[in-house]
Structure 1
Amino acid sequence: MSALDTVLPMPRLLEIDHVDLAIPAARAWDILRNTDLAHHALLVRALFAIRTLPDRLDGTAKGPVALRISDLTSSISAPGFQVLSEHPGREVVVGAIGKVWHLEIPFVHVGSAEAFTAFATPGFAKVAWALRVVPLGEQECKVEIEVRVDATDEDAWGKFRRYFVLIGPGSRFIRHSLLSGLAREYGTPDAKENERPLPGDELLPDATDQVSLAIDVHAPPSALWPWIVQMGGQRAGFYSIDLLDNENVRSARELHPELAKLKVGDVIPATRSSADGFEVLRIAEERELVLGGLFDPELKTQLRFDAPRPLHFWQITWSFVLEPRGDGTTRLHTRARARYASSGASHAAWIRPVHWLMQSVQLRALAARAEGRLPRDDWRDVTEGAGGALVMAAAFLTPFMRQARRHWGLDEATASRALPGDELSRSPTGTGPTASRSTLRRRKCGRGSRRSARTAAASTATSGSRTWPDARSRTPSACTRSWRWGRTTPSRCTRRCRRSRWCATRPAATSSCTRRPTRPRGASVPASLGWRPAGASTWSRSGRTAAGSSAAFAARPRRTRSPTSSTVRCSWSPSGSPWTAGCCSA
């Protein structure tokens, strides 16, 4: 917990700016605490002069414009910003209470940090900011400026928000200018990265070229190290521009434990098609990995790194150094050094910017992988998805080419090869020896056949009659299709099929007579079907009525109740009438 957390723990506004400096933390603290901060940014000095112009005109403010922490004091007679808390060498907190949206700010004096935190008089804003120094090693540190604002009531917060819309950009500009001035005067680690010594420099003391880059990774060394040791041309890739250094094969996006073991003398392939590459010269787990190589460009061969140099040669070292930080982050340093014959100067002229570009991409990719923020999909996945959508659209628009697309992603020989288990499944087209009767029926009668096949399989065929479950358990979705009147040949049913609410399906073996549905018990009967209620003296079909025709009634199928089942049986008429009946199962 920082000192600012105890002074203003629940702010409504919080902003942090920081810069890394290539100086020790103790020196940075002395600069921030005891020197004029406006000296490092002339524009900040000018802005403070404009802000204090009214006080200078009436004689209240005297002396040159300065911004020293030690000059910030508050009293009952002259309230204002004051030092509320300080941890020497690490952090100092400055704060004030007032109506900051006024041109002449009415400040309120408080005697301590506890009084500042407990102040709750309505209509005021509480502003606090801190200067903080975080060590990043023996010769580096981070300087932070954190600003927090809170209000004692909603009305005061609304006034401050409207005020900060105008003053906020100026506040951010002042902080940015101050930190940029410190960076220009004392340097940043990135600017001086090429000057600091790194492990592996002594292996090539006479290097003529050197490129150094670094990045801060928000992860411990243990999370970053496995990604580094598995890189390589025939391994996980180099996490850079794969088109240039990995033959357009995407670098690994996951860890491979089998690639995590390296030892001195191993060679990491530089490409996917060659065994030559980078020799492991030094390795210390989670701390450093130094690679190198000695190459003869005339013979196009790689020699041992400690072998005598030929007349024309390229000798390089490539170092990866992990520097843990106190805040749980890791500073990853990389450095490539090269020594080459005079004939290789033209090659080095263009390889230097290319290496800088690819090394920058690699560092960002390593940080993303170690921090767990690598995107799930990249441009390759988007391209493959778009290509698949185009293929599907083309297949939809060309149904006449369906036979030519019997397989996807395989050649014809592989697709036609017999595999274990083929004999256990039916033919995909329904024409093989294992094709079922319902499949053949679907191919024969077309529309509505899937439902018909399910119903036919569930029905029970008997000699002279078929069983139909009671109407109370019957639903319209269980119906099948029937053949129209006047068609007695099953082969003609393709042209005469139709759908109806209740219908009869053709049994596996039956006479070649037309059929019509029988009425389930309790079901409503359309007048067009011509049902005869039990005991009635009239019957109707297609709107026509006949009375007293006992011969016609005798030719009709009769409904009988099974003594052992709650189902209705449909019996065939013995009179040979074409009015035969078939029954559907539920």
Structure 2
Amino acid sequence: MTTAGRGWLSNGVAGLRIVGHLLTGPLLRRRRMSWGATSSDVEASWPGGELIPDPAWTATHAVTVAAPAEQVWPWVAQLGQGRGGFYSFERLENLLGCQIRNADRVLPEHQDVAAAGEIRLAPQMAMRVARVQSAADLVLVVDSRPGDDSRPGDDAGPGDDAGPGEPAALVAGLWSLHLRPAPGGGTRLVERLSYPRQRSISQRIFSSRHLIEPISYVMSKEMLSNIRDLAQRREITSASDEDLAQPSLL
């Protein structure tokens, strides 16, 4: 387990940053909504985008990782409550009852995302795996049904198929991570958040840009930065092991 995201000081500072961003609202919004992203990242049509063709708002965050996608993907694949955590501010998440434990190693038992079918944000809140391509794309969605005023994702099981006569589930929110080659053999890790236009009051609150966007910025920035550091650490370790295995010329 990693100590990243566990210290009271770092979590306290993160909490203050969230409050600050909530209070300042639109003043820094443009920078927050495209943190680390290039104009190409922001304008790109990422896999899963077709699930919310006319979003109320989107945010795109990104980092460049000095490691190949195959080294980055295992950390992405094991995201989730009861899995590898979210590599973010663990104490803040657990104050809300999320029961998160961040991993600092690859967990082989949590690498098959497609078989899992869902990724839990908290014990009673899950996102459905809508699309997964190893070392490339992970698309997660929150489902809801027309006229359903419950919080999207509550007690949702994999697929959560509608019964006879019930309306089909709608996508109430989308979170996706994408890995693409970067110069020098590295990886561009891009996160996309997308929310549709909502009608019910409860879903408007759940997907409110004024509420969700500042919080997700602080948490996502920490998550992406820690995934980068973990993947690069593994790359450095692997390279060192390989060097030790080579015969010395001295």
TM-score, scaled relative to structure 1? 0.29
After superposition, the C-alpha distances for 1:208-258 in whole angstroms (9 at most, x for unaligned) are 121111110000001100011111111110111112335464400111111
Is the counterpart of residue 245 in structure 1 residue 93 in structure 2?
Answer: yes
CA contact (8 A) 1:264 1:283 kept: no
> Separation in 2 of the partners of 1:290 and 1:305?
16
Is the counterpart of residue 360 in structure 1 residue 221 in structure 2?
Answer: yes
After superposition, the C-alpha distances for 1:28-48 in whole angstroms (9 at most, x for unaligned) are xxxxxxxxxxxxxxxxxxxxx
Partner of 1:369: 230
CA contact (8 A) 1:217 1:370 kept: yes
- RMSD across aligned C-alpha pairs, in angstroms? 2.8
The equivalences for 1:436-475 within 5 A come to none
Shift in Å, 1:355: 1.0
> Separation in 1 of the partners of 2:185 and 2:132?
22
Relative contact order, higher structure (CA 8 A, sep 6+): 2
SS at match of 2:184: coil
The equivalences for 1:334-483 within 5 A come to 334-339=191-196, 340-343=198-201, 344-347=203-206, 348=208, 349-372=210-233
Task: Give the number of equivalent residue pairs.
Answer: 183
After superposition, the C-alpha distances for 1:495-552 in whole angstroms (9 at most, x for unaligned) are xxxxxxxxxxxxxxxxxxxxxxxxxxxxxxxxxxxxxxxxxxxxxxxxxxxxxxxxxx
SS at match of 1:302: coil
% identical equivalent positions: 29
CA contact (8 A) 2:87 2:103 kept: yes
The match for 2:140 among 291, 298, 304 is 291
Relative to structure 1, the CA distance from residue 265 to residue 207 in structure 2 (aligned partners, 3 Å threshold; closer, same or farther) is: farther
> Separation in 2 of the partners of 1:346 and 1:239?
26
Is the counterpart of residue 302 in structure 1 residue 156 in structure 2?
Answer: yes
- Kindly provide the amino acid, as one letter, of the partner of residue 41 in structure 2: E
Larger Rg: 1
Relative to structure 1, the CA distance from residue 209 to residue 189 in structure 2 (aligned partners, 3 Å threshold; closer, same or farther) is: closer
- Kindly provide the amino acid, as one letter, of the partner of residue 277 in structure 1: A
> Separation in 1 of the partners of 2:139 and 2:76?
11
Q: Which runs of 5+ in 2 are unaligned?
A: 1-35, 235-250
The equivalences for 1:39-438 within 5 A come to 190-246=38-94, 247=98, 249-263=100-114, 266-271=117-122, 273-274=123-124, 276-295=125-144, 296-298=148-150, 300-302=154-156, 304=159, 308=167, 315-339=172-196, 340-343=198-201, 344-347=203-206, 348=208, 349-372=210-233
The equivalences for 1:25-36 within 5 A come to none
Relative to structure 1, the CA distance from residue 248 to residue 262 in structure 2 (aligned partners, 3 Å threshold; closer, same or farther) is: closer
Relative to structure 1, the CA distance from residue 211 to residue 248 in structure 2 (aligned partners, 3 Å threshold; closer, same or farther) is: same
Shift in Å, 1:326: 3.6
Shift in Å, 1:350: 0.8
CA contact (8 A) 2:81 2:101 kept: no
> Separation in 1 of the partners of 2:181 and 2:52?
26
After superposition, the C-alpha distances for 1:119-173 in whole angstroms (9 at most, x for unaligned) are xxxxxxxxxxxxxxxxxxxxxxxxxxxxxxxxxxxxxxxxxxxxxxxxxxxxxxx
After superposition, the C-alpha distances for 1:239-290 in whole angstroms (9 at most, x for unaligned) are 111123354644001111111112167011111x32x311111111111111
Relative to structure 1, the CA distance from residue 371 to residue 293 in structure 2 (aligned partners, 3 Å threshold; closer, same or farther) is: same
After superposition, the C-alpha distances for 1:348-392 in whole angstroms (9 at most, x for unaligned) are 12112111211111100100100018xxxxxxxxxxxxxxxxxxx
> Separation in 1 of the partners of 2:195 and 2:115?
20
Which structure is higher in helix share? 2
CA contact (8 A) 1:238 1:245 kept: no
SS at match of 2:156: strand
> Separation in 1 of the partners of 2:87 and 2:111?
16
CA contact (8 A) 1:264 1:280 kept: no
TM-score, scaled relative to structure 2? 0.64
